[in-house]
């Protein structure tokens, strides 16, 4: 009787274990989560996780185990990038005049508005002008906002570049006056006046392992290969570029998606991150979608110009943060990943994000472990088995011999 009871208890334990493993056995890796003491928590993904997780994080799962019960924890994955909002302000042009100092364009708003950006559009394609910007509340007394601000447009077979956006500190006036110093009459098509606000995201500085610059004279381009120590998210790149003269050149930033071996060593396949212009008129910094990679390639088209002096760069990535709801804080929780076939989970909390508390305490993610429940085995193709190959050869030889014998007999 006692033996039967022990067998039943052992069978029940095996059944519970197999049920728990059924939810977690497709994930190669796990990390313990500690510090859960309430329903809502946040956690920051560690850098060494990105190398093993899927590039799009489709395989991230949080499971809690409490005895025989295994529960899946719903979560939101947040990448805190800069959030830029632009509000256009209603202005109308009320005056256009000229004197020996330049050409003047005056704009009026129904009220006194706070602005920090004016985008100008001209009919001319090629120009290099200086601009002065002033503000006034009575259209009589004017106060300087910008002085000798350079705007530029170049369009030819090699370049199509414009820099006609006036950026300045927040300014609150009813009237704004733009003065353009130009040897010819500027043909102003549009002036878009706006207030731009930026809510800063959460970034982490990323150190690079190597920075290799090569100037290819035959292709008239400079190529910079940047290698990181491990795959991490990147969304910001600032290049230290110097020249004795003003410059504006096409730039392309790519990231390595995978690698392959050749006779010349390891080669890489690349995908685009950013294409635009690097210019002495603007900050040589570029923002792009947060992307996990361990290698970058930067290509600058020099045309017939002297290559720029490139000495270093600055890299940043948005921190990836998980916001999770732990319905049973007393359970033992772990983060699982490493399933190439996983698809993005769909949780209801995504629709009710506004109800999640703002101030969340952090929990800890432990070191990476091999998931002991992982049971997916890679089956080798049938014909990689030598025994099957020998059997197949014997069958083929036998069939050939039988057909030969039949032919000779006939």
- Asked, for residue 410, whether it belongs to a domain, the answer is no
The stretch 158-164 carries a mean pLDDT of 87
Place of tokens 């197999």: 18
Per-residue model confidence (pLDDT) at position 271: 96
Mean per-residue pLDDT, 105-126? 94
Same domain, 28 and 93: no
Question: What's the rounded mean pLDDT across residues 7-32?
Answer: 62
Euclidean distance between CA atoms 95 and 177, whole angstroms? 9
Diameter of the chain measured on Cα atoms = 119
Question: Of the residues 150, 170, 199, which one is the last residue of a structural domain?
Answer: 199
Say how far apart CA 226 and CA 203 lie, in whole Å.
Answer: 19
* In-domain check, residue 219: yes
Same-domain status, 258 and 354: no
DSSP-derived 3-state class of residue 397: helix
| Residue 157: predicted pLDDT | 82
Q: Is the pLDDT of residue 276 over 50?
A: yes
User: Which range of residues forms the domain containing residue 256?
Assistant: 205-318
How many structural domains does the chain have? 3
- Categorize the per-residue pLDDT at 377 as very low, low, confident or very high, splitting at 50, 70 and 90: low
Give me the residues paired with residue 93 across strands. 107
Q: What's the pLDDT band for 67 if we cut at 50, 70, 90? A: confident
Q: Are residues 246 and 314 in the same domain?
A: yes
Residue 321: closest CA among 132, 131, 60: 60
Average predicted confidence (pLDDT) for the chain: 88
**3-state secondary structure labels for all residues of 149-169:** EEEEEEECCCCEEEECEEEEE
Q: With respect to residue 13, please indicate whether it lies within any of the assigned structural domains.
A: no
| Range scoring the smallest mean pLDDT among 23-37, 110-124, 317-331, 365-379 | 365-379
pLDDT of 117 higher than 60: yes
β-bridge mates for residue 76, sequence order: 323
Quick one: pLDDT at residue 381? 55
90 and 194 inside one domain? yes
Statement to judge: residues 313 and 328 lie in one domain: no
Q: Which residues on neighbouring strands pair with residue 42, listed in sequence order? A: 323, 362
Do 294 and 375 sit in the same domain of this protein?
no
- Residue 3 inside a domain? The answer is no
Instruction: List all residues 6 or more positions away from 251 whose beta carbon is below 8 Å from its beta carbon.
Output: 274, 275, 276, 277, 278, 286, 298, 299, 300, 301
Residue 2: band (very low, low, confident or very high) from pLDDT cuts 50, 70, 90: very low
**Does 283 score more than 50 pLDDT?**
yes
Q: Considering only residues 157 and 64, tell me which one the structure prediction assigns the higher pLDDT.
A: 64
Which helix (H) or strand (E) segment holds residue 310: the answer is strand 309-318
Is residue 11 one of the residues assigned to a domain? no
Indicate whether 375 and 309 sit together in one domain. no
- Alpha-carbon distances, residue 53 vs 63, 177, 203, 315, 341 (angstroms): 16, 54, 20, 22, 11
Specify the pairing of strand 75-79 against strand 83-88: unpaired
Task: Give me the pLDDT at residue 397, please.
Answer: 80
**Model pLDDT for residues 163-183, shown as the tens digit of each residue:** 999 999 999 999 999 999 999
My answer on whether 209 and 239 are in the same domain is yes
* 3-state SS, residue 59: coil
Q: What is the pLDDT of residue 4?
A: 43
Which one of 177, 199, 221 terminates a domain? 199
What tens digit of pLDDT does each residue of 179-234 get? 999 999 999 999 999 999 988 888 999 999 999 999 999 999 999 999 999 999 99
What was the pLDDT predicted at 18? 43
pLDDT band at 388; cut points 50, 70, 90? low
More confident residue, 186 or 7: 186
Q: HEC states along 176-243?
A: EEEEEECCCCCCEEEEEEEEEEEECCCEEEECEEEEEEEEECCCCEEEEEEEEEEEEEEEEEEEEEEC
Is 17 a member of any domain?
A: no
Check residue 202 and give its pLDDT: 87
Q: Is residue 245 part of a domain?
A: yes
Q: What percent of the chain has pLDDT over 70?
A: 89
387 close to 37: Cβ distance less than 8 angstroms? no
Average pLDDT over residues 339-362: 92
Rounded distance between C-alpha atoms, residue 268 and residue 367, angstroms: 30
Task: Clarify whether residues 209 and 314 are in a common domain.
Answer: yes
Q: Answer yes or no: is pLDDT of 102 > 70.
A: yes
Domain C-terminal end among 262, 285, 318: 318
Distance CA 104, CA 142 (A): 13
pLDDT at 7: 39
Mean pLDDT along residues 373-402: 68
Q: What angle do CA 117, 277, 158 make, to 5 degrees?
A: 125
**Alpha-carbon distances of 5 from 11, 13, 16, 19, 77, rounded to whole Å:** 10, 12, 17, 21, 46
Q: Is 304 helix (H, G, I), strand (E, B) or coil?
A: coil
Residues 377 and 313 in one domain: no
Q: State whether residue 77 is helix, strand or coil.
A: strand
Asked, for residue 407, whether it belongs to a domain, the answer is no
Q: Which residue has the higher pLDDT, 398 or 43?
A: 43
Residue with tokens 């060593």: 265
User: Hey, how many other C-beta atoms are within 10 angstroms of the C-beta on 369?
Assistant: 11
Query: Helix or strand or coil: residue 354?
Result: helix
DSSP tag of 400:
H
How far is 279 from 272, CA to CA, in rounded Å? 20
Chain centroid offset of residue 287 CA = 8
Query: What is the arithmetic mean of pLDDT over 11-15?
Result: 39
Domain check: are 158 and 238 in the same one?
no
- Residue 3, pLDDT score: 40
- What percentage of the chain's residues is helix, strand, coil (to nearest 5)? 15, 55, 30
Residue 153: give its domain's CATH number. Answer: 2.60.120.260
User: How many Cβ atoms sit within 10 Å of the Cβ of residue 295?
Assistant: 19
Q: Does the pLDDT of residue 159 top 90, yes or no?
A: no
**125 and 193 share one domain:** yes
């Amino acid at each position: 009787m006692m033996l039967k009871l022990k067998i039943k208890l052992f069978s029940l334990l095996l059944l519970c274990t197999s049920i728990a493993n059924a939810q977690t056995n497709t994930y190669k890796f796990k990390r313990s989560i500690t510090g859960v003491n309430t329903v809502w928590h946040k956690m920051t993904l560690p850098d060494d996780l990105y190398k093993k997780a899927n590039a799009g994080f489709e395989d991230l799962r949080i499971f809690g185990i409490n005895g025989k019960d295994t529960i899946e924890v719903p979560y939101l994955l947040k990448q805190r990038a800069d959030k830029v909002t632009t509000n256009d302000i209603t202005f109308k042009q009320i005056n256009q005049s000229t004197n020996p100092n330049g050409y003047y364009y005056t704009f009026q708003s129904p009220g006194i508005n706070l602005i920090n950006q004016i985008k100008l559009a001209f009919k001319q394609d090629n120009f290099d002008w200086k601009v002065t910007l002033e503000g006034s509340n009575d259209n009589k007394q004017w106060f300087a906002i910008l002085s000798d601000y350079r705007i530029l447009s170049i369009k030819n077979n090699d370049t199509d570049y414009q820099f006609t956006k006036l950026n300045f500190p927040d300014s609150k006036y009813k009237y704004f006056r733009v003065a353009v110093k130009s040897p010819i009459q500027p043909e102003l098509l549009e002036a878009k006046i706006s207030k731009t606000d930026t809510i800063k995201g959460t970034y982490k500085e990323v150190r690079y392992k190597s920075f290799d610059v090569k100037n290819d004279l035959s292709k008239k381009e400079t190529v910079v290969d940047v290698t990181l120590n491990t795959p991490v998210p990147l969304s910001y790149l600032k290049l230290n570029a110097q020249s004795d003269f003003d410059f504006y050149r096409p730039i392309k930033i790519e990231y390595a998606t995978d690698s392959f071996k050749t006779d010349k060593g390891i080669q890489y396949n690349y995908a685009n991150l950013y294409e635009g212009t690097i210019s002495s008129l603007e900050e040589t910094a570029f923002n792009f979608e947060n992307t996990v990679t361990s290698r970058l390639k930067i290509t600058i088209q020099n045309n017939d110009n002297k290559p720029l002096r490139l000495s270093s760069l600055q890299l940043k990535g948005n921190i990836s943060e998980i916001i999770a709801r732990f319905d049973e804080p007393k359970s033992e929780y772990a983060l699982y990943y490493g399933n190439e076939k996983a698809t993005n989970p769909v949780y209801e909390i995504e629709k009710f994000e506004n109800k999640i508390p703002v101030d969340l305490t952090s929990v800890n993610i432990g070191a990476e472990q091999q998931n002991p429940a992982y049971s997916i085995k890679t089956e080798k193709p049938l014909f990689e088995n030598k025994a099957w190959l020998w059997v197949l050869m014997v069958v083929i030889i036998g069939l050939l011999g039988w057909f030969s014998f039949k032919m000779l007999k006939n």
